[in-house]
Amino acid sequence: MRTQVAIVGAGPSGLLLGQLLHKAGIDAVIVERQSAEYVLGRIRAGVLEQVTIDLLDEAGVGARMHKEGLVHGGFDMLFKGERHRIDMNRLTGGKNVMVYGQTEVTRDLMDARQAAGLTTVYEAVNVQVHDFDTRNPRVTYEKDGKTNEIQCDFIAGCDGFHGVCRASAPRSAIREYEKVYPFGWLGLLSDTPPVHEELIYANSERGFALCSMRSQTRSRYYLQVPLTDKVEDWSDEAFWQELRLRLDPDARNQLVTGPSIEKSIAPLRSFVTEPLRFGRMFLAGDAGHIVPPTGAKGLNLAATDVKYLFNGLVEYYKEKSEAGVDRYSELALKRIWRAERFSWWFTSLMHRFPENGEIGQKLQEAELDYLIHSEAGSRSVAENYVGLPLDFGL
């Protein structure tokens, strides 16, 4: 099989890149080791920055998002038992975010790709990348007992943190930066109305909590828990009781509980790979970086990686110039490190670090008090949360 761009990974970054390339008249084949059902079954983030919203519109898949997504102009920060609203819309000159689950984004992109009759190979076994340091890269995989080969001009590694693309980069040419946090997020999904119309980020002496949602009737809640905890240690009732203890009185009174649809514990890490280009293979999304979910940057960073890479590929095919693909890693990493900084800072501010003792909690509360009473402090939080412009500082 011959194509222009071989995309490894059919998560949102791979599907978005494939859809944008299709709209630009550039051929792409996507290879995914999991089934389509498995990909859709992942429970992930649900806050979209304006840059991501615009990209989904550009890809022609934004109609359902605009119909069903929830536009948020702010969020609450809870500490010392009281909530304070960060008015993002006012502080950023009218910018908002949209709550629309990653599962729904993936579904919209899958449906668009299927409707266009584009090739996506699911349940591909033993996917391998070859010769990406030459002008004739290849991707091989096994399907139904047969070995298949895709010849291409470029390989886009959109296959996640545990994918084959980053693992195939020469160790001498790659540098990895990582911070693993000493706690995880216990998440619960339930068919219950959200406790509040906007997200609540809670800093409490018992640990961090987040009240989020997927729709007006489906809620997503998180609790900071030790890495030693297991999901089976937490009954639904135990989860709801602990959440109540980390909320303010009004939120406790408004909380509607119910049986969980899904429960899981996710570890938190900050991770960046440098560079993101190896010859004619590029890394995008979780293949190149991971952020703690506190700042809602994971999916949005993946989308902006895709935008930079897409622009470079269009320039290559339409203008016969390699300038865009040559700058991809540099442009993407500038934005990635800014988002990593914000996510690390927000995580450090909102979570309980037992080793820091009581003084650590008091210092967090003092910084939070400054942020909500300082126009400049609140604006900095709001600007970073809604997402910096694509050309910021470039």
- Confidence label for 46 from pLDDT (cuts 50, 70 and 90): confident
> pLDDT digits over 286-318, tens only?
999 999 999 999 999 999 999 999 999 999 999
What pLDDT is recorded for position 44? 73
What pLDDT is recorded for position 384? 96
191 CB-near residues (< 8 Å, 6+ apart): 217, 218, 258, 261
Q: Range with the lowest mean pLDDT among 87-91, 96-100, 285-289, 388-392? A: 388-392
Task: For tokens 């699911």, name the residue.
Answer: 122
What pLDDT is recorded for position 394? 72
What pLDDT is recorded for position 294? 95
The answer to whether residue 48 scores a pLDDT higher than 90 is yes
Whole-prediction pTM: 0.94
What mean pLDDT is reported for the chain? 96
- For domain 5-50+65-70+101-177+270-352, give the fold: FAD/NAD(P)-binding domain (3.50.50)
Mean pLDDT value across residues 269-286: 98
- Confidence label for 392 from pLDDT (cuts 50, 70 and 90): confident
Mean pLDDT value across residues 344-373: 96
What are the phi and psi torsion angles at 349 (to 5°)? -75, -35
Mean pLDDT value across residues 344-358: 95
Orientation angle between helical segments 298-319 and 50-58, nearest 10 degrees? 40
Active site residues: 72, 201, 293, 297, 385
Tokens of 32: 């995914």
- Confidence label for 390 from pLDDT (cuts 50, 70 and 90): confident
> pLDDT digits over 126-184, tens only?
999 999 999 999 999 999 999 999 999 999 999 999 999 999 999 999 999 999 999 99
